[in-house]
């Protein structure tokens, strides 16, 4: 029996949407923007995959799935930082109760940024982050800090279709 799978996402600049499209296509899943999904719809699916961009310690739109029960919940985040070197524990703790976290499988993917397309609030946030990093002595800056400064105010794209393979494998193993 095949699983009924929903992929929902919130994407402000396009990277999360692209990953959601790739995942939905690979799993033959239904694809929706989070804004169009009703809470009661979630219970009609065997697997719910939610994707949201990372913004100021939050996961865009994640309340859709954290405030409504899902049978098998998978959440993927998309951010600028390298998932191999990033500690997501504060973000996870802020967005998930321990009970929900125990029932949720998380994946972190890497997106991109084009400073020219940022909304004013996001430009301000990025400028503030740059300022905080620049205040650190150079000896205390980590790899992410250096990479942020190197790519600040430019266009970078770290989207990688192969990084969805772990999500696809996980869902196929359910």
Q: What pLDDT, in 10s, does the model give residues 97-132?
A: 999 999 999 999 999 888 888 888 888 888 888 999
Determine the pLDDT at residue 119. Answer: 82
Determine the pLDDT at residue 59. Answer: 92
Extract the tokens encoding 119. 């909304």
Instruction: Quote the CA–CA distance of 109 and 78 in Å, as a whole number.
Output: 5
Return phi, psi of residue 85, to 5°: -125, 5
Yes or no: say if 41 and 68 are a contact pair by the CB < 8 Å rule: no
User: Which stretches of the chain score pLDDT less than 70?
Assistant: 1
Instruction: Quote the CA–CA distance of 117 and 155 in Å, as a whole number.
Output: 9
What's the pTM? 0.86
Instruction: Quote the CA–CA distance of 49 and 73 in Å, as a whole number.
Output: 6
Instruction: Quote the CA–CA distance of 167 and 110 in Å, as a whole number.
Output: 14
CA distances (Å), origin 72, targets 33, 101, 140: 19, 12, 41
Q: Which residues contact 67 (CB under 8 A, 6 or more apart)?
A: 39
Instruction: Quote the CA–CA distance of 49 and 6 in Å, as a whole number.
Output: 6
Q: What is the dihedral of CA 136, 84, 160, 5, to 10 degrees?
A: -120
Return phi, psi of residue 108, to 5°: -125, 125
Give which of 51, 11, 60, 43 is closest to 27, Cα–Cα: 51
């Amino acid at each position: 029996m095949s699983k009924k799978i929903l992929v929902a996402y919130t994407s402000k600049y396009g990277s999360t949407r692209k990953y959601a499209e790739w995942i939905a296509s690979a799993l033959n899943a239904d694809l929706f923007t989070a804004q169009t999904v009703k809470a009661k719809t979630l219970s009609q699916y065997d697997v719910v995959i939610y994707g949201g961009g990372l913004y100021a310690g939050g996961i865009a739109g994640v309340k859709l799935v954290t405030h409504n029960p899902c049978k098998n919940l998978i959440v993927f985040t998309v951010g600028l930082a390298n998932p191999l070197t990033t500690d997501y524990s504060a973000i996870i703790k802020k967005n998930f109760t321990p009970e929900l976290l125990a029932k949720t499988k998380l994946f972190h993917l890497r997106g991109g940024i084009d400073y020219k397309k940022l909304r004013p609030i996001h430009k301000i946030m990025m400028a503030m982050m740059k300022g905080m990093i620049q205040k650190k002595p150079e000896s205390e800056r980590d790899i992410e800090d250096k990479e942020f400064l190197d790519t600040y105010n430019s266009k970078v794209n770290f989207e990688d279709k192969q990084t969805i393979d772990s999500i696809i494998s996980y869902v196929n193993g359910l």
